[in-house]
Amino acid sequence: MPAVEPMTVKDHSSADDPTLVRAAQQGDMIAFEELVARHRDKIYARAFSMMRNEDEAVDLSQEAWVKGWQRLKQFQGESSFGTWLTRIVINLCLDQLRKQKRQRTESIEAMSEESGGVERQMPVVTPNPTAGLERRELRQRIDRALNQLSHEHRTALVLHEFEEMEYKEIAKTMGCSIGTVMSRLFYARRKMAALLGDPKKQDLL
C-alpha cells in the first residue's frame, strides 16, 4: 500500500471516506475520529433498532468502533466503510441478544415462532393504518410496535427493511435457514401491521 501523506485538520473534514480510511489504516486517529463523527448516528440507530435499549445500544456501538479500529487493516473496501462497520455492530448485537436469550426462560412467543404464531391467523389490516399519520406519531407507533416483537422477529425485520439484506444473507447472519427467515419476517410484519393499526392492541398481542 502506498504511503499516505499526513493530513491536516482541514483535510480531515473535507476528505471522503476512502481517504480517511486509508489515513486511519496508517494509524491516523484524527482520521478515524472523523469517520466516527460521520457514521456514529447510523451505527447507534442500528444498534438501537435491534436492542431497543438506549444504554445497550450506546455500549455496543462504542464496542463496534473499537473493533473497527482494531480490524481496520482487514478492511479492503469491498463495501462502503459505513456498511462494513454496520455489519460489525449487527454481529455484536446478535451476540448480545443470544447471551440474553440463554439467560432467560424462552417466552411462549419464541417457542411458537417456529411452529406458527397467532400472527398467521390475524385478520388482514385494511385500510392502511399509517396513512395520514404525522411523522412523529408514526415514529412513536413503530417504536412501540418494535418493542413488542421477539428479538428474532425484530432482527429479521431490521436486517431486511433497514439493512436491505436478502433472505439468504439474513439466514447466514442469523445462523438459520432461509425458510425460518421467511416465516420470522412474515410474523414480524403481520404483528407490526396489527400493532400499527390499533395501538390499543399493543399490550394484548
Partner 1 sequence: MDLDSQLKLQASLDGELPEAEAREVANWLARDREAAALHTELRNTRQALVGFEIGVELPESREFFWSKIQREIHRLEPAELAPRPVPWFARLRRVLVPAAGVAFLLVAGLLTLNPAGQPASEMETADSGAFTYRDDAAGTTLVWLSYPAESEVANNSELDTIE
Rounded Cα–Cα distance for residues 104 and 92 (Å): 19
Stretch in the footprint of partner 1 (CB under 8 A) among 8-16, 18-26, 63-71, 100-108: 63-71
**Which long-range contacts (C-beta less than 8 Å, at least 24 apart) are formed by 85-90?**
85/39, 85/43, 86/42, 86/43, 86/46, 86/163, 88/64, 89/43, 89/46, 89/47, 89/60, 89/61, 89/64, 90/46, 90/50, 90/159, 90/163, 90/173
Which residue number, 98 or 139, has a Cβ lying nearer to partner 1?
139
- Contact map string, positions 23 to 42, toward partner 1, x by CB under 8 A: ------x---x--xx--xxx
Q: Return the residue of 20, 21, 85, 192 that touches partner 1, per CB under 8 A.
A: 192
Neighbours of 6 (CB within 10 A): 11
Stretch in the footprint of partner 1 (CB under 8 A) among 4-12, 59-67, 91-99, 102-110: 59-67
Applying CB under 8 A, which residues contact partner 1?
A: 29, 33, 36-37, 40-42, 44-46, 48-49, 54, 58, 61-62, 65-66, 69-70, 116, 120, 124-126, 128-131, 138-139, 142, 157, 160-162, 166-167, 179, 182-183, 185-186, 189-190, 192-193, 196
